[in-house]
Amino acid sequence: MFGTLLPVWIIRMVKSQKNVPDDRSTEAQILDAARRVFVRRGVAAARTQEIADEAGVNKALLHYYYRSKENLADAVFLEAARHLFPPMVATFVSGLPLREKLLRAIQLQTDAATANPFLPGFVMCELRTDAARLTRLLHAVLPVETAQQQLVAALQADLDAEAAAGRLRPTQAETFLVAFLSLAVFPFAGSHMLNTLLGLDAAALDRLAAWRRAELADTLLRAFAP
């Protein structure tokens, strides 16, 4: 259907508007290799040669499929983000009780960070100095403004209801949300820091992750109790 001499990024632009399934051979191998190397080295320190070696192809093929290391990093991010952000937003705007929302959100975040350690580090580090790029990537995954408004509005309604019932203090949704994200994301994003700074090894970090799955929702609710 597509001429074999067309650069792949042009084919991809057409396919992305037509739901044509991608060819999952060399292109996917490069993406998998890139994810592994990015996780191992960080994007900045990753060498395209190492990615090519790990994928078993030539360095020039990376350019053929993705045109630049930056695009390759974006593709890795998007693949992971599509599996995390939409379900996360859907959870918070669902009709579930607040405690159930928190439990599901923690489950989503924990599973995503375990399956894909790339995501938190990439967002916090590589995109730190390029807000425009982060904005562009997020808009490829979510209707950001709409999702923000709906999520914050739904959470504020939950918090107001809990406050009216005397189960929580009056609380701003932003405050609660930042506390939630801090407790859920930081231990993954900063695992190296915790390892060196506090001497927490992989086993200790696993225990903490288990604690979060079991206790974080109730701990957070207790933190904002009257």
Q: Enumerate binding residues for a copy of itself (CB under 8 A).
A: 40-42, 44-45, 121, 123-129, 131, 134-135, 138, 144-145, 148, 152, 174-175, 177-179, 181-183, 185-187, 189-190, 192-200, 204, 208, 211, 219-220, 222-225
For 100, other C-beta atoms within 10 Å of its C-beta total: 13
Site mask for DNA (CB under 7 A), range 29-58, x = bound: -----------------xxxx------xxx
Distance of alpha carbon 134 from alpha carbon 128, whole angstroms = 8
| C-alpha R_g of the chain | 20
Binds DNA (CB under 7 A): choice among 11, 34, 112, 127: 11
Q: Which stretch binds DNA (CB under 7 A): 65-73, 82-90, 133-141, 213-221?
A: 65-73
137, 160, 211 from 88: Cα distances, Å:
17, 21, 20
Tokens read off for 168:
């929580």
By CB neighbour count within 10 A (0-12 exposed, 13-18 middle, 19+ buried), where does 113 fall? buried
Choose the one of a copy of itself, DNA, none that binds residue 152, judging by a C-beta under 5 to 8 angstroms depending on kind: a copy of itself
Tell me the backbone φ, ψ of residue 201, rounded to 5 degrees: -85, 180
For 141, other C-beta atoms within 10 Å of its C-beta total: 18
Question: CB 184 → a copy of itself: shortest distance, Å?
Answer: 8
Helix (H, G, I), strand (E, B) or coil at 191: helix
Q: Which stretch binds DNA (CB under 7 A): 3-11, 132-140, 155-163, 187-195?
A: 3-11
Does position 64 interact with DNA (CB under 7 A)? The reply is: yes
Provide the binding-site residues for DNA, judged by CB under 7 A: 2, 4-5, 8, 11, 23, 25-27, 46-49, 56-61, 63-64, 67-70
